[in-house]
Structure 1
Amino acid sequence: MTNQPMEFIMAGRRHRRRRWLLVTGVLAVLTCALCAAMLLLGNTIYPVQEVLRALSGEQLKGVSFAVNTIRLPRMLAGLLAGFAFGVAGYTFQTMLRNPLANPNVIGITSGSSAAAVFCIVILHSKGAVVSVASVIAGLATVMLIYFLSRGKAFSIGRLILVGIGIQAMLDAVISYLLLLSAQQDVPAALRWLSGSLNGSQMKELPPLVFTVLICAPVVIVLGKQLSILELGEQAATSLGVNADKTRIALIVSSVIMIAIATAITGPIAFVSFLAGPIAKRLVGVGFSNVIPAGLVGVNLVLAADLIGQFAFEYRFPVGVITGLLGAPYLIFLLIRMNRKGEL
């Protein structure tokens, strides 16, 4: 009799682990399928054998250029940026215990975007300069929001409201920069601001590759502590988690990923907002959802890009499609939180 509760707990844990493995595996397979579709589909649909030969370095007329120069950088940019947005969004939502507390809503993305637009249209800079400026601006935005939201005691609601205000201010700065920019720079800047994988180049991807390879494992390793932080400051401390150090490591890693991804692809709307809730709904509770959230982010970006390219008469940037998906969910979430008295 005394072992029954423990057996029940262990059975529940095994069930949750199997569900986590199943969902993560399905998301990984779907990611591979979408990556393959990104390489195979275009104005010309190439056979799998020709695409593999082109990827191996063999020079095939038309195929090598289309696959290695256009489709492969586009696919890798979507893969890496989607994972970065998904992981960072889930981290902020879990750490701050609020689905609205994601980089898009609280102004972090706007800070990186403002710096990137300034570098692009005013300084006419590219590559590493834009990436570094985005990271610095993203971290500065986080510090400003945190400082302004402290008051006598830290409040998640106050942080979100301050973040929304900072976002509105930074969006105004971006609009002002566009007014100052040369006319020929405006279309490129607007296309970048909508969030797009168009024109992705292999030479632009190394900063994003290294950032994801370094920062994502940090968040994954701290996934258990992140789940404990969701219980609150006192509970986390009583369970042996150094809340301040863990929070700093998670924030710095997430902001760097968001900033670099934004510098490469632009602020792809609502990916960081949708990835965490979708992953949590699919996987459930009991295990860290960092990896599933990242995979959901990848699938959202790649699927939206394919839809934007081929589902309509005109081609749309990936950010337009994710915006169409995310805006209704945001409205639904605000209505539900208002009814529960959480706003």
Structure 2
Amino acid sequence: MFAVYVLLGSYTVTVPDFFKILIGHLTGGEKIPGASFIVMENKLPRAVIGVMIGAAFGLSGGLFQTMLRNPLASPDVIGISYGASAAAVTAIVIFGATGPAVSGAALGGALGIAALIYAISRGPSLGSGGGNRGNAAGNRLILAGVGIAAALHAVVNFMMTRADIRTAADALVWLNGSLNSANWDRAGMLSLALLVLVPAVIALAGPLRILELGDDAAAGLGIRVGFTRLAVVVTAVALAAVATAAAGPVSFVAFLAGPIARRFTRKASLPASALVGALIVLTADYVAANLAPLLLDGTVLPVGVITGALGAPFLLWLLVTANRKDA
């Protein structure tokens, strides 16, 4: 999909030309007029950022869903993405922020709301012991997140009513999630964040697998249950926050990646969740940029519109199948 994204679309590049462009860019050699700019300043950084934010959202959703043993536990559902959105829209509307300032506000908003949700939901079950208490803690965290997300949604709507048309349009594009602002500087910042967070995920994968056995069993095997849960929450929130800061709250990627990956691997798999998340973002943005304009008289959609269209019916299907299993 990465190759399709870079080589095909509204501007087609052959494989030999791609390597000629890439080598010319790296060595400062010959460039192909027009094509070099399109590939190196548009298609390639956009694809690279798409892969990284997709993997980050996929890992974030996979961590939450595995820890809480609930497919609804994702940054989209429990309010973390709304925290980033509310902070970013406030920065845009009230302070006239643009570019990195908006990303910084989104990052801070996501981290702040995550801390609030964790504090509200935290009880004896998040500290130690009790398999049933662990499930209750997960349910409290999800319910707290849903409630805070509803409040933040109202804040975003209020801010949009106070903005002029141009500012509201800028905020709306950001709220839907978009790769239009992708560039190499943003890719570099995102890669540095992932160089820190991905090793943290690898370190937590083993304890998290044991934690799936229940809090009592994990404690008996020497796992520090409270510390592990807190570390998983912090890592998952940071992954979602940096991805949201880079491209906006691309809806439902974190929610979709884990369950789809599980269908293929037959078990919870963080690497598979990361790959599926990257695949979803790349495919959705390719459709939004190249196929949607053919159907909508040239209108180019933000990537979040396509992922949202995929996520809503998947959520309904998940609820229906869960009800059938309960019955």
* Structure 1 residue runs without a partner (length 5+): 1-33
Matched, 1:80 2:60: no
Q: Percent of counterpart pairs with the same letter? A: 44
Matched, 1:265 2:237: no
Over 3 Å counting, the alpha-carbon distance change for 1:192 and 1:132 in structure 2 is closer
Distance in 2 of aligned mates of 1:254 and 1:84: 9
Matched AA of 2:318: L
Pairwise CA distance, 1:192: 1.4
Is the 1:220–1:290 contact (alpha carbons within 8 Å) kept by the matching residues of 2? Answer: no
Distance in 1 of aligned mates of 2:121 and 2:98: 34
Query: If the length of structure 1 is used for normalisation, what is the TM-score?
Result: 0.84
Distance in 1 of aligned mates of 2:59 and 2:18: 30
Over 3 Å counting, the alpha-carbon distance change for 1:92 and 1:185 in structure 2 is same
**1:60-100 residue CA offsets vs partner (Å, 9 max, x unmatched):** 10011101111112111101100000000000001111111
Is the 1:104–1:110 contact (alpha carbons within 8 Å) kept by the matching residues of 2? Answer: yes
Matched AA of 1:132: G
2:164 aligned partner? 182
Q: 1:317 aligns with which of 292, 299, 302?
A: 302
Distance in 2 of aligned mates of 1:231 and 1:248: 17
Q: 1:326 aligns with which of 306, 311, 321?
A: 311
Structural mapping, 1:205-244, within 5 Å: 205-244=187-226
2:147 aligned partner? 165
User: What's the Cα RMSD here?
Assistant: 2.0
Is the 1:39–1:75 contact (alpha carbons within 8 Å) kept by the matching residues of 2? Answer: yes
Matched AA of 2:2: C
Is the 2:63–2:232 contact (alpha carbons within 8 Å) kept by the matching residues of 1? Answer: yes
Over 3 Å counting, the alpha-carbon distance change for 1:174 and 1:101 in structure 2 is same
Pairwise CA distance, 1:328: 1.0
Matched, 1:45 2:12: yes
Distance in 2 of aligned mates of 1:122 and 1:77: 28
Matched AA of 1:184: R
Distance in 2 of aligned mates of 1:74 and 1:322: 17
Distance in 1 of aligned mates of 2:69 and 2:41: 42
Distance in 2 of aligned mates of 1:151 and 1:183: 45
Is the 1:127–1:204 contact (alpha carbons within 8 Å) kept by the matching residues of 2? Answer: no
Is the 1:35–1:75 contact (alpha carbons within 8 Å) kept by the matching residues of 2? Answer: yes
Over 3 Å counting, the alpha-carbon distance change for 1:121 and 1:64 in structure 2 is farther
Q: Which moved more, 1:178-187 or 1:258-267?
A: 178-187
* Structure 2 residue runs without a partner (length 5+): 126-135
Pairwise CA distance, 1:131: 3.4
The secondary structure found in structure 1 opposite 2:13 is: coil
Pairwise CA distance, 1:41: 2.1
Distance in 2 of aligned mates of 1:79 and 1:61: 27
Over 3 Å counting, the alpha-carbon distance change for 1:95 and 1:152 in structure 2 is closer
Distance in 1 of aligned mates of 2:7 and 2:184: 18
Distance in 2 of aligned mates of 1:124 and 1:207: 23
Matched, 1:304 2:284: yes
Q: Which moved more, 1:50-59 or 1:319-328?
A: 50-59
Matched AA of 2:83: G
Structural mapping, 1:96-115, within 5 Å: 96-115=68-87
1:55 aligned partner? 22
How many residue pairs match? The answer is 307
Pairwise CA distance, 1:155: 2.9
Pairwise CA distance, 1:118: 1.9
Distance in 1 of aligned mates of 2:97 and 2:187: 16
Q: 1:142 aligns with which of 91, 106, 114?
A: 114
**1:132-169 residue CA offsets vs partner (Å, 9 max, x unmatched):** 33233222212222232346755322322221111111
Matched AA of 1:35: F
The secondary structure found in structure 2 opposite 1:255 is: helix
